[in-house]
A and B are shown apart, each in its own frame.
Chain A
Amino acid sequence: MTLATGAILILAVLLGWLRLWRWQAARPRTARFWALLALQPLAATLLWFALHPPAITVPGGTLVVATRGAPPGSYDIRLPEAPASAGGTLAPDLATALRQRPATTVRVVGEGLESRDQAIARTVSVQFAPPPPPTGLVRLDPPPPVGAGGLVQVTGAATGMDGGSAELLDPAGTRAALAELGADGSFALTGRTRAAGAADWKLVLRNPAGAAAHTANIPVTTLDTPPPRLWVRAGAPGPELKYLARWAADAGLDFGSDVQLGAGITMGDAPLAITATSLARLDVLVLDERSWAGLSASARAAVLSAVRSGMGLVLRTSGPVPAPVRSAWSTLGLRLATGDTPRDTRLPGGTTIQSLPLAPLGPDSIAFLRDTAGKPVAAWRSYGRGRIGLWPVLDSYTLVLTGKSTAFAGLWSSMFSAVARSTTASRPDLPAWGYAGERVTICGLPGPAQMLTPGGTAIGLHPDAAARGCAGYWPTTPGWHRLRTSDPAIETPLRILPAEAHPGLRATALREATLRLARSQPAAAASADRSLPGPAWPWWLAFIATAGLLWWIERRRIGRGAQTT
């Protein structure tokens, strides 16, 4: 950079000289000519220094900075979040403070440095004596995305509330779940969504006496994806198929099934032709061990090739699995334990089902259903772009018969959600929520997008294609902001919480980030000198003076009088 500007400046000087030479070629060399000749390189040199001011060496020093929650006292610098009782010069941010008062060490007093100041703080060494950890809600895991009727899972932790309880309130304000805080203060709560759309759930932490000590809003966005097309091929009719069809109808799935009774006799819908084109129209295909055994080699190849290109395949068991099927499935990476004895499996939520045990999972398999002891019950793995799930549950229909149809729907919904073909559109990757006045990173944007504030103002986003299509957004007003993307034309809500929301959570985050900074920048370099870019303004002043002189000498009539008169 510096070299390039230098070269350009030298070229400019040479061109200036050439022009002077030609202009004054026929005239006697006056003092004016020589002055013009000499001032050209001088002006270029000054401009170069103005653009790249020479570094100055700063003696090592320590800057005491007051941040949010700093106790009253006298400090060098007071950042905007610091309380007014903290004395010191008010600086808009740490970078400005360091330019005004160069230092090599920053001693942070208070809760910690805001994310705004953390980048500049990496250039100096940070000393931080952390305040006592905050009490109340200190960890809140954003709930994973959920569909209508799905489970909202809220987990987190609170400190300083031994013996307290956590309560989840749904958007109507009625209690959805209640749990006692664990020994480490952690809690896990679940609620069930009723409709697609974005809504604030509320977490209430109660002390042992039952009084509400802390409340926190938890924005939850319930997504609405196009329903998958589902086909079940069974080897025999059974209650599982019946209740699966019933659930699929209620949940709005595009469902079809056929039962191959053998000898060319089929029941149910018109049988599915296992070809590449018919499978490409499906999102999930469910086979059991009998229908798998009934597939020809070419049909199996077609199914696996469809899975490689994105289809989901669920292998379910309806009874003992013959050895050839067992080995065929294990070559797909999903292995059943030996023995066909079904075992009683207790699931979280107090339900019991019968299932065939799984062999220990391979490294590429993911268990999506575990029993109360944590043993995997059902698993899936990637296969090309698609996924294959193994569902060795024999009698999930008994859940419906015992009045637990919600649990039944939840099990199958989670299975199909895991393996179903992905949607054609990619969802932008938004954080679960943001805070007013803090930068929000939005990724996965395919092209230009707009943010609509609650007031309706549209703010353009400029995603960086080189960085996963990420864009920065600085919200100022709390409320529901909307991300509007043009391709596909969808609006995704993003909740911006007020700047003072989740105080414990954010204090913990600040504290840990500042502690990380303090650890990564050891105080050993604290006293050493350090060079900083020097001030540029004297050079600019000198350059302007020289350039002005040049202009004046060139325009003045000195030495031209003879020709004009």
Chain B
Amino acid sequence: MSVAPDFAAWLRPIVWRVRAQTAAAALPLVLAAAAIAWRLAGPVPAAAVAALGLAATAFLAARASAHYDQRWLLRRLDAERADIEDSADLLLADPASLGLLQRLQRDRLIARLQTGPAIAAQPDWQPKRLAILWALAVAVTAAAILWPRGGSAEVEALIRGEADQPPPLLVARSLRITPPAYTGLPARNAENLSAKAPVGSTLTWRLRFAPTPESAALVFLDGRRVPLAQQGEDHIATARLDRSSLYRVVATGEAKQGPLHRLDAIADARPVVRVLAPATTLTTATPGQSRWALSFEARDDHGVRATARLRLIRAAGSGENVRFRESAMVLSGTGSAKARRFSVSLDLNALGLTPGGELVAQLSVADNRPGTAQTAQSPSLILRVPTEKAVEAAGLEGMVQRVMPAYFRSQRQIIIDIEALLKERRRLPAATFAARANNIGADQRILRLRYGQFLGEESEGQPKAPTMADLLTSDGGAPDKVTPTDKPAPKLVLPEGHDAYDGHNHGATDRAPPVFGSDDGTFAAYGHAHTDSETATLFDPETRATLGKALDAMWQAERSLRQAEPAAALPQAYAALNFIKDVQQATRIFLQRTGTNLPPIDMARRLTGKREGIAPARRSLDGEDYPDAVPAALFASLATASPSEADLQRLERWLAQAEVPDKLSVVAAIDAVRSDPACAPCRNTLRGTLWDAIATPPAAVLRRSAGSTEGRRYLDALATR
């Protein structure tokens, strides 16, 4: 009776071997997992992961080794050793329950197993697999530990050895505004880094960061950059405020971009002049008025200069013969610099204001801006001294055309005179008739001489200033419908009354009068002529010829009149009038019209009413023509969605060329949205500024909705009812 071998002793190395294999395979995984956990979450979670992993490894090892028990050993013996003869089960059986043969076989087996199980080592170590696992685990662990942290500022600081340096923060700030001296405003400190100040103010920033950054600067959105100079603990910068802009404070090593600040430059306003007296711009002088009181008030945001210039223009004469004299006087203001009063009382007699004349006064003030001062003018104040004549003409003004070319009227007047004389011929004594005809002839002569001046005629002496005799024919001042009977009376007794319309210059008798149409008049004034005086007139040859014919006709008419034959003179006078009219036409200037370049008329199509092939004019404005298409589209989409960068760039391009009252606020709103697209209040602000920037479009047509099928059926039923 032999004893069964010690299976447990045989199994022990195998079991431990299996456990070692499991541990060898699992440990690299645990190591890698722990390393990743350390990297992502820190040392404590890493320890937890490692503990869990070890526990799992132990559990797996136990499970794997549990498989290798006595039964497994017997099966292996049966399988691998031929001398066991598939009877290994007998080793476990109770010898007492076995039959004789079974017992015998059992004893044989025990004897054969004296030397040990002698089966193949199970299972195999798999060195290749283990090596790969370990290599992978070591690689993952190394990566987890050594991988740089996404280029963050912290790692960069770590590399530079500033790991413990927090980002600089703005801890103290002040912005001092020193307005230009002329404004008289005191220097002040802004409440925050945004400020409103007059143009030209000096701004001084004093900022303190903790910890102190290497450098800091003010970065303006329009591209300017003002570096901040370090002075002790503070950073200081100074800049002149020239235009409104947005900026932010940028310090090296800052964690995130700071907010935008806004500088508003308040432009110097122009002074404003208000007239206190008189109440109206046009004043009519009362009879006997000798003084004219004027009072002005000038206001400016910073200050009005203490003196102002009063421009006085005196107009004398009437009609075309108005002459102006300009003078100026300096007034001193009273009151504060911001609201000054300028008062003066003008002496009309000293100014030489005569009836019919006008006095125009205008005050010009300047503000105290150094360099280019801004000026403002008051409205022109007019004092009119009435004339008797103006009173007579009242009511007819505007109805009667009082200005007529003298040469044209005069020839016609001669014709009227001749006709009137012819009518009265029978009633008049022959001598009176001849005298009156002679008088008309004299008129005709003077007129002929005047026209002769246009042609440079000198046959009858130098042109001379019109004398009293000229006035007889030059009837410019007379009313339009003058009958020959009442003609002489006003002409003879009122030499002063026709100064405006006759065109001759009897006011300046002391110098040689300029002769209309001749070279010494206009040409001498504006240039010099190289041609001879005979041809160098203002008229072209054709006009000169016509004018010559007119003169001939006048000659004829004059001759007949002098011979007391007005009937013979009448056709000549008419001919002269017609020629003068032709000259008048010729003196009109015809300019080439420019700007139209019409296509040639298609005669085959003309007046047929056919419109085939004619491109219709474009009627509707498409989206590109709507100037606010970009902000309008963005306004709609911003309500619910964040804008894309392309949208914002398109908006900025639009903004660059758009007329927007407050561009800076739009720019600031765009910047806020760009820095945080998910920020709903920022989007709302941008929408608000866009709304302000969009011009109200003309009301569009809102079409009704299609409605439901039932509704359409109802309407159809109504229609067929």
Most A CB contacts (10 A, CB to CB) among B609, B638, B700, B712 go to B700
Partner of B700, one of A252, A254, A256: A252
Asked if B485 is at the interface of the complex by the 8 Å CB criterion, the answer is: no
Partner of B695, one of A194, A256, A283, A383: A194
- The chain B residue with its CB closest to the CB of A255 is B619
Residues facing B in A149-204 (CB within 8 A) are 149-151, 170-174, 192-199
Asked if A343 is at the interface of the complex by the 8 Å CB criterion, the answer is: no
A149 pairs with B699, CB closer than 8 A: yes
What 1/0 flags go to B597-625 for Cβ under 8 Å of A? 00000000000010100001001111000
Residues facing B in A431-462 (CB within 8 A) are 444, 452, 454
A172 with B689, Cβ < 8 A, contacts A195-B694, A444-B708 known: yes
B688 pairs with A420, CB closer than 8 A: no
A283 pairs with B700, CB closer than 8 A: no
Interface stretch of the complex, out of B48-56, B412-420, B629-637: B629-637
**Whole-angstrom distance from the CB of B415 to the nearest CB of chain A?**
48
Contact residues in B for A149 (Cβ distance below 8 Å): 696-700
Separation of A264 and B700 alpha carbons in the complex (Å): 34
- The chain A residue with its CB closest to the CB of B629 is A195
Separation of A270 and B639 alpha carbons in the complex (Å): 44
**Whole-angstrom distance from the CB of A487 to the nearest CB of chain B?**
13
B703 pairs with A248, CB closer than 8 A: no
**Whole-angstrom distance from the CB of B643 to the nearest CB of chain A?**
13
Contact residues in A for B637 (Cβ distance below 8 Å): 197
A493 with B639, Cβ < 8 A, contacts A382-B715, A426-B705 known: yes
- The chain A residue with its CB closest to the CB of B614 is A270
Partner of A264, one of B609, B692, B716: B609
Asked if B719 is at the interface of the complex by the 8 Å CB criterion, the answer is: yes
Contact residues in A for B97 (Cβ distance below 8 Å): none
What 1/0 flags go to A386-426 for Cβ under 8 Å of B? 00000000000000000001100110111011001111111
B697 pairs with A251, CB closer than 8 A: yes
- The chain A residue with its CB closest to the CB of B628 is A195
**Whole-angstrom distance from the CB of B47 to the nearest CB of chain A?**
38
Separation of A253 and B620 alpha carbons in the complex (Å): 6
Partner of A194, one of B640, B697, B703: B697
A423 pairs with B704, CB closer than 8 A: yes
Asked if A476 is at the interface of the complex by the 8 Å CB criterion, the answer is: no
A199 pairs with B695, CB closer than 8 A: no
The secondary structure that dominates the B interface is loop
Contact residues in B for A480 (Cβ distance below 8 Å): 639-640
Residues facing B in A225-281 (CB within 8 A) are 225-228, 245, 247-256, 264-266, 269-270
Contact residues in B for A192 (Cβ distance below 8 Å): 696
- The chain B residue with its CB closest to the CB of A382 is B715
B694 pairs with A194, CB closer than 8 A: yes
Separation of A426 and B709 alpha carbons in the complex (Å): 10
Partner of B640, one of A269, A410, A416, A454: A454
What 1/0 flags go to B636-648 for Cβ under 8 Å of A? 1111100000000
Contact residues in A for B705 (Cβ distance below 8 Å): 422-423, 425-427
Contact residues in B for A150 (Cβ distance below 8 Å): 699-700, 702
B636 pairs with A195, CB closer than 8 A: yes
**Whole-angstrom distance from the CB of B715 to the nearest CB of chain A?**
5
Contact residues in B for A264 (Cβ distance below 8 Å): 609
Partner of B698, one of A270, A405, A414, A417: A405
Asked if A479 is at the interface of the complex by the 8 Å CB criterion, the answer is: yes
Separation of A414 and B698 alpha carbons in the complex (Å): 12
A385 pairs with B712, CB closer than 8 A: yes
Interface stretch of the complex, out of A140-148, A208-216, A355-363: A140-148
Partner of A249, one of B621, B632, B689, B708: B621
Separation of A192 and B609 alpha carbons in the complex (Å): 44
A227 pairs with B701, CB closer than 8 A: yes
Partner of A145, one of B631, B638, B695, B702: B702
Contact residues in B for A248 (Cβ distance below 8 Å): 619-620
Asked if A32 is at the interface of the complex by the 8 Å CB criterion, the answer is: no
- The chain B residue with its CB closest to the CB of A223 is B702
Separation of A383 and B719 alpha carbons in the complex (Å): 6
A385 pairs with B639, CB closer than 8 A: no
- The chain B residue with its CB closest to the CB of A150 is B699
Partner of A252, one of B621, B635, B689, B694: B621
Contact residues in A for B687 (Cβ distance below 8 Å): 171, 199
What 1/0 flags go to B671-698 for Cβ under 8 Å of A? 0000000001000000111111011111
Asked if B707 is at the interface of the complex by the 8 Å CB criterion, the answer is: yes
Listed by A's residue number, 28 A-B pairs whose Cβ atoms lie within 8 Å are: A147-B699, A147-B701, A148-B632, A150-B699, A171-B691, A195-B635, A197-B632, A197-B637, A228-B701, A228-B703, A250-B697, A251-B697, A252-B626, A253-B700, A254-B619, A266-B609, A270-B611, A384-B716, A385-B712, A405-B698, A406-B699, A412-B699, A413-B699, A413-B702, A422-B705, A423-B703, A427-B705, A444-B708
Q: A171-B691, A228-B703 are in contact. List 14 more A-B contacts (CB 8 A).
A: A149-B700, A150-B700, A194-B635, A227-B701, A252-B622, A269-B616, A283-B703, A383-B719, A385-B712, A405-B698, A409-B698, A409-B699, A413-B699, A423-B703
Q: A-contacting residues of B (Cβ < 8 Å)? A: 609, 611, 616, 619-622, 626, 628, 631-632, 635-640, 680, 687-692, 694-708, 712, 715-716, 718-719
Q: B-contacting residues of A (Cβ < 8 Å)? A: 145-151, 170-174, 192-199, 223-228, 245, 247-256, 264-266, 269-270, 283, 308, 382-385, 405-406, 409-410, 412-414, 416-417, 420-427, 444, 452, 454, 468, 479-480, 482, 491, 493
